[in-house]
Structure 1
């Protein structure tokens, strides 16, 4: 090792609070969770990595998971992790943070919470990958350009906000000539700042009219890139364009760490079955949840029916997975009898009963904190008694023998 010929040992720059946690672990084999916070948990993890304390790293990763359940700080933690140790290309903590940020719509993350390097890392990690990204590709482009403009000047950022509309409905609004003239002042600087991100934006996932009417007139993307996107659209047989990266390759999966003891998860996490569950309903939730803003939809396919099948959403806090979700305060489910339950409060006759082979779609609107269901394509209104839903929710089901449910993105 280099220490043998350099005759010196170099330590990373560590704060006394991180050294205290390291020493505490070395002497006691545990750490005081209260001493960890969003300001030092990444540095402590990096120190544990430097000193090759693998078990301490595992403890810290579990603490980060718990922290992310209750606090929306994934963008800040990812920014710090990438900035501190950008060479960590395949690291469990880094991947956990990337997956957490991927499930937050970028337009809900204020500029400044996510660093430029962190954005570059997450875009490169999810580009043409199986990681589902909860942001349409146009919004990925818009956020990237805004981030690049921010590195130029505040005035450039304001102009970008005018020339790149926040398209929630994919309308193809035209640009105003005055705004284009103002933009010309900063065009080349923004192009240079945007270059590290451009190669990780998948323009094939952006509607053709938006490419032609909004993006191309700005003249900040190489024409060959746009030509390839136009060519893809011309040759594509898809009637409806998929706007999200990873959508066709990824799926929601059940979480075997948040699952009743008698339930079995199989098919790479996509299916839960209750072949051993005979004493009553048990509950399972998905591995990843949805938070802040956005509209999220997923399907539950009843592959094997059980007399009481329950489908809905839950919080990650105070859920007893050994029991039926409908009796719990932090779970909201629709039963196969057509009634909805939360904390033993029943909403009778929400929809007709359903059974084996049926597809139940959950429509979670985090903007309005509401939830609605569709049965085999027929949509019903939001459940009116479900108000004050928390800021982060997970797909959840309750079932017992011989039930078997599959989860997939809608």
Structure 2
């Protein structure tokens, strides 16, 4: 599909381009449980340079952005694909389904997976999901100090292209201090700058999710009559834009 789109673009076949994009959108709508947009975005990133003016890239990014990263199995979205996703949604007011801590978590674990199975396993253990953290009264109670990260510097190097697109200011300060900073895979200057920025902000000033945060629920649906006028509900109550 990607190659066909670019062939149509090269030969300036506008109608064919529109047909390909329409087909892609229809496929997403008809097969919402089998969304292959992460694989397509990875394939795009491997073949073509990043360009925010690219219509098909924007479609892919929009499709992946509304999938919680925790729902995308490791191996489906490449580091380059993730970089495209984070770059195109950074400081943009577009729907996004993943809290920023989970963005960092997914990025770090994906980077570790490129290094070794041991590094991947350790990061999985040291980076609990946001849901798991919320169940713990104090994030300092997360027991991870004794789990050494194998090839820490290699993990940091793999993670480096993604770090600039992670909006750390959106991550809770206690999570930064108790979970992220001790990993030693983020430059100290970045962590220090975030602490300084947080000192100047009220906690309520910034959402923990970039763009327009959305809530996705597959088991339950939202009652439109009870959500108020500021909530936009789509997909029969499964997706809510807050």
C-alpha separation in 1, matches of 2:181 and 2:73: 26
Aligned positions of 1:390-405 closer than 5 A: 393=235
* Equivalent residue, structure 2, for 1:44: 4
Distance 1:135 1:87, change over 3 A: closer
Q: Distance in 2 between matches of 1:230 and 1:219?
A: 16
How far apart, in 1, do the equivalents of 2:47 and 2:25 lie? 20
Determine if the alignment matches structure 1 residue 193 to structure 2 residue 161.
Answer: no
Distance 1:103 1:130 in 2: 13
Change over 3 Å in CA distance of 1:409–1:371 after alignment to 2: closer
For the pair 1:155 / 2:110, whether they are aligned, the reply is no
Unaligned runs of 5+ in 2: 229-233
Q: State the TM-score, normalized to the length of structure 1.
A: 0.52
Is 2:223 the partner of 1:231?
no
**Residues 221 and 237 of structure 2 are in contact (CA less than 8 Å); yes or no, is this contact kept in structure 1?**
no
1:67 equivalent to 2:27? Answer yes
Q: Which residue of 2 aligns with 1:124?
A: 87
Query: 1:175 touches 1:213 (CA, 8 Å); kept in 2?
Result: no
2:217 to 350, 360, 365: 365
Residue 330 of structure 1 corresponds to none
Per-residue CA deviation, residues 157-201 of structure 1 (Å, 9 max, x unaligned), is 11110011112154414343321xx21x32101011111000100
Number of aligned residues: 228
Alpha-carbon distance in structure 1 between the residues aligned to 2:79 and 2:144: 29
Q: Which has the larger radius of gyration?
A: 1
Partner residue in 1 for 2:74: 111
Task: Compute the RMSD of aligned alpha carbons.
Answer: 2.4
Which structure shows the higher helix fraction? 2
Distance of 1:88 and 1:373 partners within structure 2: 37
Q: Distance in 2 between matches of 1:376 and 1:90?
A: 35
Go from structure 1 to structure 2 and tell me whether the alpha carbon gap of 1:370 and 1:89 turns closer, same or farther (over 3 Å shift): closer
Residue 178 (structure 1) aligned with residue 146 (structure 2) = yes
Distance 2:143 2:189 in 1: 22
CA contact (8 A) 1:175 1:214 kept: no
Alpha-carbon distance change, 409 to 124 in structure 1, aligned in 2, over 3 angstroms: same
d(CA) in 2 for partners of 1:157, 1:116: 14
Distance 2:224 2:95 in 1: 22
The CA deviation string for residues 293-312 of structure 1, in whole angstroms up to 9 with x for no partner, is: xxx2xxxxxxxxxxxxxxxx
Whether contact under 8 Å (1:102, 1:132) holds in the other structure is: yes
**DSSP-derived class of the 2:53 partner:** coil
Equivalent residue number for residue 328 of structure 1: none
Instruction: Tell me if the contact between 1:145 and 1:160 (Cα under 8 Å) persists in the aligned partners.
Output: yes
Would you say the 8 A contact 1:131–1:246 is kept in 2? yes
Unaligned runs of 5+ in 1: 1-40, 251-289, 291-295, 297-363, 378-391, 397-407
1:195 & 1:112 partners in 2: Cα distance? 19
Q: Find runs of 4+ consecutive structure 1 residues off by over 3 angstroms.
A: 238-241, 369-377
Contact 2:100 2:209 in 1 (8 A): yes
Following superposition, the deviation at residue 132 of structure 1 comes to 2.7
Check whether the contact 2:21–2:56 (CA below 8 A) recurs between aligned residues.
Answer: yes
Contact (CA 8 Å) 1:207, 1:241: kept in 2 or not? no
Matches within 5 A, 1:88-99: 88-99=51-62
Asked whether the equivalents of residues 222 and 237 of structure 2 are also in contact (C-alpha less than 8 Å), the reply is: no
Partners of 1:69 and 1:133 lie apart in 2 by: 18
Distance 1:246-1:67 versus aligned 2 partners, 3 A rule: same
1:249-292 Cα shifts (integer Å, max 9, x gaps): x8xxxxxxxxxxxxxxxxxxxxxxxxxxxxxxxxxxxxxxx8xx
